[in-house]
Structure 1
Amino acid sequence: MTPAHTTDDAPNARIEISGVTKRFLTPAGDVFTAIKDVSFTVEPGQFCAVVGPTGCGKSTTLSLVSGLDRPSEGTVAVGGRPVDGIAEGVSFMFQADALLPWKTVLGNVALGPTFRGTAKREAESTARDWLRRVGLAGFEDRHPHQLSGGMRKRVAMAAALINEPRILLMDEPFGALDVQTKAIMQTELLGLWEQLRPSVLFITHDLEEAVALADRVVVMTSGPGSVKAVYDIDLPRPRGAVQDIRFQPEFLALHRQIWESLREEVERAYAKTAGVSS
C-alpha cells in the first residue's frame, strides 16, 4: 500500500506550537497554569512523542492541538492555519476506549466513513479491511464488552486509521495494557504508521515506548510544563518488533541520555506532590 499523503499534502500535516501558555480557573477561583511558553514543531509525517512527569501538561498540549481547547497565550497551527476547532483529517486515540458499547466491532470502525457520507456498504467493506489489518477478521459481529483489552485497542486503532488521517493524536493509548500486549500493539502501530505516514503526536509516561516508536522525543518540565529538551531519535526505519528494538545498543544509549534529563523533572514533580522541600 502506498502512503496516504503525498508531498503535495505534506505541509497540511505540520503541527506548530509557538509560545503557548494555558491557564485554568480552579474551583476555588485561583488561576492554575498548566503549561507555560511551550514551543515545538511536528514535521509532516513525523512521529513525535512527548514525555514528562505527571501533571506537566502533556494532555493539555494535546487538547490544544486537537482543537478541543484553546490556548491562553501563543498559537497552535496545523498546516499553517491557527487551530480554532476540530480540524478535518485529524484522528484521535485516547487511553480510554472510545468505542460505542451498543455497536458491533464492525459498526464502530465504520463510523468514520459513515459520518463523512460514505455509503453503508462501502464503509463496512473498508472497515472489514481495516479489521483484517489489525488482526480482528472474524470478530466483526462482536461487541466491545466481548473483547479483551488488547482487542479493544485494535478496534480503536482501526477506527482511528480508517480515515487515513494526516494527523494522529494519541494520549497514552496503551497505558492500561499489560507489558506483553503493549509491546505487540506498539509493533502493530509502527507497521500501520509506516503504511500511512500521518504526523503523530504521542503522549506517554513510558520513556522506553517513546524512544522505540518516535522520530523525535520532547521532554517537558514539571508543572507548569514547558519544553526542557528535544531529542532526535536516529534509529533506522522500519524498526521491526519493539521487543527487539529495546535491546539495541543505540536504543539503550538514547534511553540513558534522555532519562538523565527526564529524571530531574520526575523527582521535582514528586517532591512537590509529597511536600518535600528541594
Structure 2
Amino acid sequence: MSDQTRRPHPPGITPDDAARIDIIGLTKRFLTPKGEVFTAINDVTLTVEPGQFCAIVGPTGCGKSTTLAQVSGLEHPSAGSVSVGGQIVDGITDGVSYMFQADSLFPWKTVLGNVMIGPVLLGTAKAEATTLAMDWLRRVGLSGFEDRYPHQLSGGMRKRVAMAAALINRPRILLMDEPFGALDVQTKAIMQTELLQLWEELRPSVLFITHDLDEAVALSDRVVIMTTSPGTVKNVFDIDLPRPRGDVQQIRHEERFLELQGQIWESLRDEVTRAYAQTAGVAA
C-alpha cells in the first residue's frame, strides 16, 4: 500500500465525509476502586467537520482524554455515541492516528523502525515502507538519525519521530493528547509550526487536547471549552485567524489573537477556579 493509497470508504461516504467526527450525548462512567460510580464526561455533544483542527481545553480531570479515547475506539461509551465518517464507533477506528503526551515509541526499535511500523502493519512491502519512512523523517528534519534509538534522542526529536509515525499513513483523523506538553517553550513553538505545515498538506480532522490556551488559539479552527468534572461542553469558539498561519510565535502578538485569547480565558477561568477548589477541598 503506497503513501497515496487509501482504504475504500464505506458505500455512500465521500473522502471528505469520512473525516467527519460526530459526538452525540456522550457519557462515560467508571467504577472507582471503592466500587463507586464516577462520571468522567456527561452528555458531550460536538462535531468536528472534515479537515477541521479542533482543540479541547478545560481544567485537569474534566474528561478531555476520555473523550479522545471514545473517538479512537479504545473505550466504549456508557451512553451516547461517537460516529466517524457516518459510522458508529464500536471498535478501533479505521484511519485514525493517535499521538500521546508520553513518548509512545518502541525503545528497542530504531527511529526508522518506529516510523515504518505503521505502513508495515497495513501490509506495505518492507522496501516501500522504508522509503516512505525515510521521506517522513526528512519532512520532520531527522534525516541522518535513522539508526538512532529513542533513548539517544532529545525530547523534541522523539516528538518529531512520533509525529512522523502518526502521519505516515495519511490518517483521516488525528487525535493528539497534549503532544507537546512536556517540551520547553522554544522547542514547543518549533513543533507547533511544523505540525501546522504538515496538517496544511494532509488536512486530517484533528482533535487536539491541550492545557495551553495560547497553543489552542494559535493552531485551531475551533476551541471547545469543557466544564469541571463531570466534563461537558461549555462553550465553542470559532477561531477566525487567517490560514496558513506560519510561525506561531508571531501569531501570538496579533491583535485578533489577543482578543480571542481573552474571550476564551473568560469562559475557561471559572472552570479552572472551580476545579482547583474541588481538588483543594475548598468550597467554590
TM-score class, shorter-chain normalisation, is: over 0.9
**Equivalent residues in 2 for 1:228-267, closer than 5 Å:** 228-267=234-273
TM-score by length of structure 1 reads 0.97
Are the aligned partners of 1:144 and 1:152 in contact in 2 as well (CA < 8 Å)? yes
Secondary structure at the aligned position of 1:130 is classed as: helix
- Equivalent in the alignment of 2:34: 28
Q: 1:103 and 2:109 equivalent?
A: yes
**Equivalent residues in 2 for 1:164-175, closer than 5 Å:** 164-175=170-181
Q: RMSD in angstroms over aligned alpha carbons? A: 1.4
- Equivalent in the alignment of 1:274: 280
Q: In structure 2, what is the Cα distance between the partners aligned to 1:115 and 1:99?
A: 15
Secondary structure at the aligned position of 1:264 is classed as: helix
Structure 2: which 5+ residue stretches go unaligned?
Answer: 7-12
Secondary structure at the aligned position of 2:186 is classed as: helix
Q: In structure 1, what is the Cα distance between the partners aligned to 2:283 and 2:91?
A: 41
Q: In structure 2, what is the Cα distance between the partners aligned to 1:222 and 1:8?
A: 37
- Equivalent in the alignment of 2:82: 76
Q: 1:151 and 2:152 equivalent?
A: no
For the structure 1 residues 53 and 88, does the alpha-carbon distance in structure 2 shift closer, same or farther, using more than 3 Å as the test?
Answer: same
Are the aligned partners of 1:57 and 1:223 in contact in 2 as well (CA < 8 Å)? yes
Q: In structure 1, what is the Cα distance between the partners aligned to 2:151 and 2:145?
A: 12
Residue by residue, what CA displacement relative to the aligned partner does 1:189-233 show, whole Å, maximum 9, x if unpaired?
000000000000001111100000000000000000010000000
Amino acid at match of 1:260: E
Q: 1:222 and 2:238 equivalent?
A: no
Q: In structure 1, what is the Cα distance between the partners aligned to 2:136 and 2:244?
A: 21
Are the aligned partners of 2:55 and 2:222 in contact in 1 as well (CA < 8 Å)? yes
Amino acid at match of 1:226: T
Q: In structure 1, what is the Cα distance between the partners aligned to 2:20 and 2:260?
A: 25
- Equivalent in the alignment of 2:142: 136
Secondary structure at the aligned position of 1:218 is classed as: strand
Structure 1: which 5+ residue stretches go unaligned?
Answer: none
Amino acid at match of 1:69: E
Following TM superposition, the consecutive aligned residue runs of length 4 or more in structure 1 with deviations greater than 2 angstroms are: none
Percent identical pairs in the alignment equals 75
Match 1:191 to one of 197, 201, 204: 197
Q: In structure 2, what is the Cα distance between the partners aligned to 1:125 and 1:176?
A: 30
- Equivalent in the alignment of 1:112: 118
Cα distance, 1:86 vs structure 2: 1.0
Cα distance, 1:4 vs structure 2: 9.1
Cα distance, 1:8 vs structure 2: 3.4
Q: 1:126 and 2:95 equivalent?
A: no
TM-score by length of structure 2 reads 0.95
Match 2:65 to one of 41, 51, 59: 59
Q: In structure 2, what is the Cα distance between the partners aligned to 1:25 and 1:4?
A: 42
The count of corresponding residues between Structure 1 and Structure 2 is 276
Secondary structure at the aligned position of 1:110 is classed as: helix
